[in-house]
A = this chain, B = another copy of it.
Amino acid sequence: MQTVFSVRTSGPGLYEFTGEVARFVRETGCREGLLTLFVQHTSCSLLVQENADPDVQRDLQEFFRRLVPSSDDPSMRWLKHTTEGPDDMPAHIKAALTAVSLSIPVTDGRTALGTWQGIYLFEHRHGAQRRRVVAHIGA
């Protein structure tokens, strides 16, 4: 069974959609299986991370901002792909450093997430976006 999640974003950061995923798993009636998520873009990514303290999410985003500064930062002058804006090529790099797909076992009808784990769309671009994540549940 498959579906597509649509996640609206408005600038860099983590957007949780654990609830939508849980609902999909429930609706399929799957008791034991494997859920796979795949994001259809190259300038955002997927992340399973702590959903307790929002500072964790802010620190994560800030780390990536410092590791891969904007194209107009003097330290990034060597970048060539700059025509789509100063946030575009850094977004591709951040996506390469994180995950395009995630697989999570389904056990007793629920995703086997740990106590503090949430599922996030990690947006790396500045403008408003509508991101597509394909979900597949298999045996």
Task: Name A34-56 residues within 8 Å CB distance of B.
Answer: 34, 36, 38-42, 47-50, 53, 55-56
Note all chain B residues with C-beta closer than 8 A to A17.
none
Q: Is A128 in contact with chain B by the CB < 8 A criterion?
A: no
Contact A33-B105, Cβ < 8 Å, known A50-B92, A59-B93, A100-B99: no
- Closest residue of chain B to A58 (Cβ to Cβ) is B80
Q: Are A132 and B114 in contact (CB under 8 A)?
A: yes
Q: Given the complex, which residues of B lie within 8 Å of A132, measured CB to CB?
A: 114
Q: Are A95 and B49 in contact (CB under 8 A)?
A: yes
Looking at the assembled complex, report how far the CB atom of A125 sits from the nearest CB atom of chain B, in whole angstroms.
13
* A21 close to B (CB within 8 Å): no
How distant is A35 from chain B, measured CB to nearest CB, in Å?
A: 10
Residues of A1-33 whose CB lies within 8 A of B: 2, 32-33
| A129 CB–B CB distance under 8 Å | no
Interface residues of A (CB under 8 A from B): 2, 32-34, 36, 38-42, 47-50, 53, 55-56, 58-60, 62-63, 66-68, 78-81, 89, 92-93, 95-105, 107, 112-117, 132, 134-136, 138-139
Pick the 10 closest A-B CB pairs, nearest first.
Answer: A40-B114, A55-B81, A105-B136, A55-B80, A42-B50, A101-B103, A48-B100, A112-B134, A36-B103, A105-B134
